[in-house]
Chains A and B, each alone.
Chain A
């Protein structure tokens, strides 16, 4: 059963606008969350993370928000650029299971000029 869910398979945003990618999770043992970005024919690369003790983490144009009570996190990209067009994976790590990440299915973001 999928414990990390990205319910939007795709998203299209105009250049300069905000992109918001959403992720929901079901396992209350998850205490660390990561976003990975993947271009075609390349491996995923780490983008940004957040610990469950925080509700926001910001890195340049990228901000991740965590709402623990709703078991929801979101990635905001402002302003969006055409080079941000990629598949974005949300991943979660439980506090009791070492190193194995649980990934969502991914959201394909297209930023149009």
Chain B
């Protein structure tokens, strides 16, 4: 059974803290994605990676960075958390070769920045 796991379901951080959100997939997928979901805005792509050490900016990369040192793990980093980064963060993965392959999502991390 395919599985995408995220390190925390709920996280509370203070403004200015460095925040790491971890995502692990066990499907040997090449592609991994980070989205944020906000009410009335849907899912917006922050960054994605199509291979180890490769990354591409999505629609809203400002204030975020990512790391992909191993194929199964994709980390989202908030260098200095701000209150406008309070959101639900969703990680996804998909196999390469066919861009029409569905993306499999993790359960999400609800981050609150105080």
Contacts and interface: CB of A to CB of B under 8 A. Distances in A.
Interface of A: 6, 9, 32, 34, 36, 41-46, 49, 51, 89, 91, 93, 98-101, 103-106
A12 B54 CA distance: 43
B81 interface: no
B45 interface: yes
Contact of B102 (A9, A46, A105, A106): A46
Contact of B100 (A6, A51, A105): A51
B94 A99 contact: yes
B101 to A, nearest CB: 8
- Across chains A and B, which 5 residue pairs bring their CB atoms closest together, nearest first? A43-B105, A105-B42, A46-B102, A103-B43, A103-B42
Contacts, number: 60
Given A49-B102, A89-B43, A98 B108 contact: no
A41 B107 contact: yes
Given A101-B43, A105-B41, 15 more contacts: A9-B40, A36-B105, A41-B108, A43-B105, A44-B90, A49-B102, A51-B100, A93-B100, A99-B31, A99-B50, A99-B96, A101-B45, A101-B103, A103-B42, A105-B40
B108 A34 contact: no
Most buried by B among A32, A51, A105: A105
Interface of B: 4, 9, 31, 33, 35, 40-45, 48, 50, 56, 58, 90, 92, 94, 96, 99-100, 102-108
A69 to B, nearest CB: 22
Contacts of B35: 103
A interface: dominant SS: loop
Nearest to A44: B105
A74 B51 CA distance: 34
Contacts of A46: 102-104
A93 B48 CA distance: 14
Nearest to B42: A105
Contacts of A101: 43, 45, 103
B77 to A, nearest CB: 20
